[in-house]
Structure 1
């Protein structure tokens, strides 16, 4: 029997009882399927259920075949190696003893003589040139992601589950990912907002608050089909609203006509021109007729209203996020940041950054570029004061704030509103709620605990707490800010940052994002020592 994954009536709610999705009936086979949708609709939760690491609230999942998962973030310990990530540390040790003649007979019976070659092939397939004993802590975030990709490749599963796999990857890593998926012949289910990656899919599943819909073809095919559906839904809504208006108009005309008849009858009866019995009979007939007409009008109105509601639901009326920022008051000629001959890293024998100098003046927008491992995140941590350089000086002469990929400035045990107040002391509740509402955290949504949010929602909450401040930072430091945001949120953030009048220092592999926020110049980093 061929491998497959099927969901039947799948549903899930947050621990607080907020419904996330319901009645999902999906089927996956040996194909590449992209899962798309706005932040918070449950994409990652669905993937975790398919992987068996999260229990559904209702419904069931039937998996025929093996499953391997590539997660968004690879957590690593100080002594963990690529071999640990692969789960083959013991097997490699046995192989090493066998090659040196030190293995026992029972160990020799289980030796996998092809293991080293298969590991090397898996690493090469994702473009990572590193031995299996490489410490994970010595790799950049993108290199760790590639190592995790190689681990699932080595497992040769029937289904590969990937959650935002292109996050943190440089151009070389993204190319390796695209080549891997392009040659993948088993099943692959990918949660992503990366349009380049989604163009390689065989099908797209869109998750919304209304459920999940499958579209055949890649991203462009999905967008074309979606445009046709939305156009039809808008037509249906227009027809339903016109019908409801016509029913309301006819009901109003009938009411006015009855009022005129009742008035004329009352005046005639008052003049005594009609026998009392006949007047009473006519009154009863009129009341019965008007009652029947009222019930008919009410039924027609209810049917037309239901049709309008159904059409409106199909369009899924969601407000677009609009970001407007308070002025920073940064003078054009002010030096906001200065680095002089900075050297830093983790291993004294191999600095990540060496004799680096950088000055940012006024509202400059500087992008830090370079391949994974060249020290981009290390540099941001130094500038933010999270770590200290081995030598050289760093001078910060303006208000600054840093938002990293995980929005580490937020306390996961606090609500979004509580985090806002903690990061902006002295602000009143009205200011807090107004700022959060601009980032689509309205009413009770602002009271959600950060630890219950999706990756995209957490990053959006971090941006809300920083950019929504009455006195926003004059220097904004961003580390891959678009990694977990859906496409609509990215567009809104781009619009907001375009109007930002402060300085920016940005690390991003998203070229479209850098172009949209009008980067002034780039600082290109290279790995040290030079390759």
Structure 2
């Protein structure tokens, strides 16, 4: 039977009782489905409900076949080995005992002699030449992600669930994920903000506060249909707002006409122009007519309000996300950074950076490229003074802002406002609120604790604290900035960087982001 998963009336609230997923009814077959939505929309939660890690508050999850899930926050502990991650340590121990002649006859029946070769094949398919006893702590974050992907390949599930599988991966690792999905014949649901990966999907499911909507085709097809739908919904909303305004205008005109007639009637009554019996009859007819008119106007207003409400339901009411960076006025030709014959790393290991020279002048945009483990982040730490070079000269001539993908400069125990003021000591509370608002943290959102934010929110808060001050630093150093941003956040970051007039030094494996950044030069550490 082909692999399939169906959800019926599925609901799940956040720990404080706020509805997150409400009455979802969806089905997934033997196809590759991309799961998209803003940070906090419930993508990871939905995958955990499908995998069985969570039980729904209401509704049902039905699945045929086996399910395996790769989670962005569950790639093993540093002291574990590849075998632990794969869940095959007992099986490998049995093979070792069997080869040593220490296994009993009953155990030998359970021995899987093909296992070592299958482990090696899964690892090689993901670009890893390591053995099953390799400690995870010796691998980079990207290599661990590849190992987790290899564990899924070894498991050979009928249905694959991937949560941000390309985060932390270099180009080779991203290609391994894409190649895996291209050849996947079972079902797959992939929660991702990676536009290149989403182009490989057969369908897209979008989660919003209004529920879930399914779109056939890849990400480009989804974006085109979504834009068309939003344009149509916006026109419908504008028409409904116009109809409500017109209904209110007509009701006001009718009310003013009635007021003028009532005033004229009162004056005629006071003058005594007609007999009282005729005046009373006229008053009765006017009141009856006025009551009927008022009821008709009320009905029209209610109908207009209902149409307006229905139109609004088609458009998710969300404050547009913007990231506004003030100008730096960095002069063309001004020396920003100079590296001369720099060598460095983490002794006693051999240095990752060897005899590197680099000059950045004016608002240049430089990309540091290379595979995982080639020393990209190490180089940024040398540049920013976090680790000293073993030899050579590092000369940083302007203020800079560093934003790493884990946003380690934010204190998780402090509010965003207090984090901003800690990192920008001259800012008063009003300046902090204004700067945070420019990055989407308005009013009470600025008082949220940094430790409570999602990955994407934390990165956006880091950008606000790094670049929200006036004037901003003339050099922006980015280490995988799109890893935890949602699609709207990435678009806002790209727009902000397009308007930024300072220098940029960036590490990224996101092809679409790099295309938007339009770097002047690329320094490839893997060359």
TM-score using structure 1 length: 0.91
Residues 75 and 123 (structure 1), Cα distance of their counterparts in 2 relative to 1, 3 Å cut = closer
Give the structure 1 partner of residue 396 of structure 2. 396
Shift of 1:103: 3.7
Matches within 5 A, 1:247-286: 247-286=247-286
Give the structure 2 partner of residue 383 of structure 1. 383
Which moved further from structure 2: 464-473 or 58-67?
Answer: 58-67
* Contact 1:4–1:65 (8 Å) recurs in 2: yes
Asked if 1:410 is matched to 2:410, the reply is: yes
Which moved further from structure 2: 392-401 or 311-320?
Answer: 392-401
Matches within 5 A, 1:309-348: 309-328=309-328, 330=330, 332-346=332-346, 348=348
Deviations 1:86-121 (A, max 9, x none): 122332233233234444445423221110111122
TM-score using structure 2 length: 0.91
Give the structure 2 partner of residue 71 of structure 1. 71
* Contact 1:76–1:137 (8 Å) recurs in 2: no
* Contact 1:39–1:457 (8 Å) recurs in 2: yes
Deviations 1:41-93 (A, max 9, x none): 22222223323334545544344443222122565545433222212233223
Shift of 1:355: 2.5
* Contact 2:494–2:516 (8 Å) recurs in 1: yes
Which moved further from structure 2: 424-433 or 99-108?
Answer: 99-108
Give the structure 1 partner of residue 124 of structure 2. 124
Residues 382 and 61 (structure 1), Cα distance of their counterparts in 2 relative to 1, 3 Å cut = farther
* Contact 1:14–1:452 (8 Å) recurs in 2: no
Matches within 5 A, 1:16-415: 16-73=16-73, 77-328=77-328, 330=330, 332-346=332-346, 348=348, 350-415=350-415
Partners of 1:203 and 1:21 in 2: how far apart? 20
Shift of 1:255: 1.9
Partners of 1:381 and 1:110 in 2: how far apart? 50
Give the structure 2 partner of residue 483 of structure 1. 483
Residues 36 and 432 (structure 1), Cα distance of their counterparts in 2 relative to 1, 3 Å cut = same
Cα RMSD (Å): 2.6
Partners of 1:385 and 1:61 in 2: how far apart? 51
Shift of 1:305: 1.1
Partners of 2:433 and 2:12 in 1: how far apart? 28
Partners of 1:347 and 1:54 in 2: how far apart? 44
* Contact 1:9–1:58 (8 Å) recurs in 2: yes
Partners of 1:15 and 1:420 in 2: how far apart? 28
Matches within 5 A, 1:450-489: 450-489=450-489
How many corresponding residue pairs? 527
Residues 39 and 46 (structure 1), Cα distance of their counterparts in 2 relative to 1, 3 Å cut = same
DSSP-derived class of the 2:505 partner: strand
Give the structure 2 partner of residue 513 of structure 1. 513
Q: Which runs of 5+ in 1 are unaligned?
A: none
Deviations 1:207-262 (A, max 9, x none): 11111111222223323432443343234324323332332233233223322322
Shift of 1:133: 3.0
Partners of 1:438 and 1:55 in 2: how far apart? 38
Residues 445 and 492 (structure 1), Cα distance of their counterparts in 2 relative to 1, 3 Å cut = same
Which moved further from structure 2: 328-337 or 235-244?
Answer: 328-337
Residues 490 and 200 (structure 1), Cα distance of their counterparts in 2 relative to 1, 3 Å cut = same
Give the structure 1 partner of residue 445 of structure 2. 445
Residues 502 and 451 (structure 1), Cα distance of their counterparts in 2 relative to 1, 3 Å cut = same
Q: Structure 1 residue runs of 4+, over 6 Å off?
A: none
Partners of 2:515 and 2:141 in 1: how far apart? 23
Which moved further from structure 2: 498-507 or 220-229?
Answer: 220-229
Partners of 2:251 and 2:53 in 1: how far apart? 57
Q: Which runs of 5+ in 2 are unaligned?
A: none
Shift of 1:332: 4.5
Shift of 1:337: 3.1
Residues 464 and 415 (structure 1), Cα distance of their counterparts in 2 relative to 1, 3 Å cut = same
DSSP-derived class of the 2:306 partner: helix
Shift of 1:425: 2.4
* Contact 2:2–2:186 (8 Å) recurs in 1: no
